[in-house]
Amino acid sequence: MTERPIRLLIADDHPIVRDGIRGMFAGDPGFEVLAEAGDGARAVELARALEPDVILMDLRMPGTDGVTAIKELARLGITSRVLVLTTYDTDKDVLPAIEAGATGYLLKDTQRDDLVRAVRTAARGESVLSPSVATRLLGQVRTPADPLSARELEVLDLIAQGTTNREVAARLFVSEATVKTHLLHIYAKLGVNDRAAAVAVAFRRGLIG
């Protein structure tokens, strides 16, 4: 049985950029571009109507910007994953987008194969960050000497059991954004960059059993 394609919504205020992104997925049976939006408000409207799996969202758009749109999607309970695709990787762009609930954050110079992999990863509900963004986020929360808090240990233990961010959030009665923030703190404190490495280090140090 053939898996259905991952359904995409592209939100960017530049038609040429939208055409370029659409072209990256054209002809690939694993993806279907449902629609395009030129601003955040239209992206939210289309997401409500079409229920895409992944929204490729620019941040700086006229009218309703990307972060505002991400917050509105969360408020409405729309389950589409949002993968930010933008030119900017400054603190004032990255942190609000992640805190608003973006599943991933990539820059527009990302190669086609990397973008395709990132969309597949986002569709599974897993976080994906460009290297420069990951470094910036870790720099924001890096406190190597700090021990893991009781809540961070809870999150790490659940991650070690193979639970997704959404499942962790449901178990602990917090938002997915809060789980992502805990994970970033965990990565910084353990000196790692991903979930697998965090679990491996935690086991080695006897933090989880």
Residue 206 pLDDT? 83
Choose between 93 and 23: higher pLDDT.
23
| Mean pLDDT of the residues in the chain | 88
Residue type, 188: A
Report residue 11 as tokens: 């939100």
47: CB partners within 8 A, 6+ apart: 9, 55, 73, 78, 80
% of the chain exceeding 90 in pLDDT: 61
Residue 204 pLDDT? 80
Residue 1 pLDDT? 46
Report residue 96 as tokens: 């609000």
The answer to whether the beta carbons of residues 39 and 64 sit under 8 Å apart is yes
pLDDT above 50 for 145: no
Residue 83 pLDDT? 95
Per-residue pLDDT reduced to its tens digit, 166-208? 999 999 999 999 999 999 989 888 878 888 888 888 888 888 8
What does pTM read for this prediction? 0.67
Report residue 54 as tokens: 């992944």
The answer to whether the beta carbons of residues 10 and 18 sit under 8 Å apart is yes
133: CB partners within 8 A, 6+ apart: 89, 94, 105, 106, 107
